Amino acid sequence: MNAIQFTEISVKNQRLMDQIRGIYENAFRKEIRFPWECLLYKIKMGQIRTKIQKRKNEKFHLIGAFKEEKLVAFFILKYFGEFAYCNFMAVDISCRNQEIGTQAGLKVIETVKADANEFQIPDSVLLFEVDKPDNAPNDAVKIASERLIKFYVKRLNVIFLDIEYIEPTLIKDGRDMYLAMYPLSNRNYIESNRLLHYIQAIYHLEYNLTPQKNASKFQRYMKVITNSIGNRNKIYGIPKNSWNF
């Protein structure tokens, strides 16, 4: 693999932010992505909160991947005290199939491990949402979703949790998604109560969805999730051999 250089990007760097916008808008379909202005605001607030240490053990990362000084990918990673959440990772469409995604994914994990070590939380987990191929609007998107799942499972050893999960996107009723996990410990499961706590934190901090704000939607989504968990105390991953692609 050709060497990729990674560096934190400041929202004040207009040239690079323009490039990130281009990668972002090409990588994510219009009907499911945040408007750029909304994402830009989240980036600004994340960097400010990290700078002033707004909350204990909280960090925000906007990291760019550079190949021969060209920005070829980026990811956004947030550490929320006990767990990390990566909600955006994208590769420039002109640079795909060059192992850049693999290197970026490994960098995400490396960054989470560094934060966990700094905060002395060795059993942290990394969570992120992944599209379900069956919900794809066309064959091209379905194939891309299947490839992404293969990438996470085979290249990064990610665990796709065996639950129902709703992403509170701009779509009226949210999106039925996979919730995936990379544990920093050797465990291949996560406790149900811990997972529910993390999901509620994501809903609150990322989507502004709480029992007090958009209460009916919050309760509806959480009911789907808790019903899928049932009486299980631990949540394991979907078996790797169950993927039919």
Regarding whether 128 and 82 lie in a shared domain, the answer is: no
Q: Which stretches of the chain are DSSP H helices? A: 14-27, 36-52, 100-119, 139-150, 192-207, 215-229
Q: Check whether 173 has a pLDDT greater than 90.
A: no
Q: Check whether 93 has a pLDDT greater than 80.
A: yes
- The burial of 224, by beta-carbon neighbours within 10 Å (0-12 exposed, 13-18 middle, 19 or more buried), is given as middle
How many domains are there within the chain? 2
CA distance linking residue 231 with residue 60, whole number of Å: 34
Q: What is the pLDDT of residues 12-64, one digit of tens each?
A: 999 999 999 999 999 998 888 889 999 999 999 999 999 888 778 899 999 99
Domain holding 17: CATH number? 3.40.630.30
Q: Which of 104, 122, 140 is the last residue of a domain?
A: 122
Q: Taking all residues of the chain, what is their mean pLDDT, rounded to a whole number?
A: 92
Query: In this structure, what token pair is assigned to residue 207?
Result: 């989507």
Range scoring the smallest mean pLDDT among 56-65, 165-174, 190-199: 165-174
Query: In this structure, what token pair is assigned to residue 195?
Result: 């997972």
Task: Please tell me the total number of residues recorded for the chain in this structure.
Answer: 245
Domain hosting 88: range is 1-122
Q: What is the pLDDT of residues 103-141, one digit of tens each?
A: 999 999 999 999 999 999 989 999 999 999 998 999 999
Regarding whether 103 and 64 lie in a shared domain, the answer is: yes
Regarding whether 83 and 174 lie in a shared domain, the answer is: no
Q: Which of 76, 104, 122 is the last residue of a domain?
A: 122
Regarding whether 195 and 234 lie in a shared domain, the answer is: yes
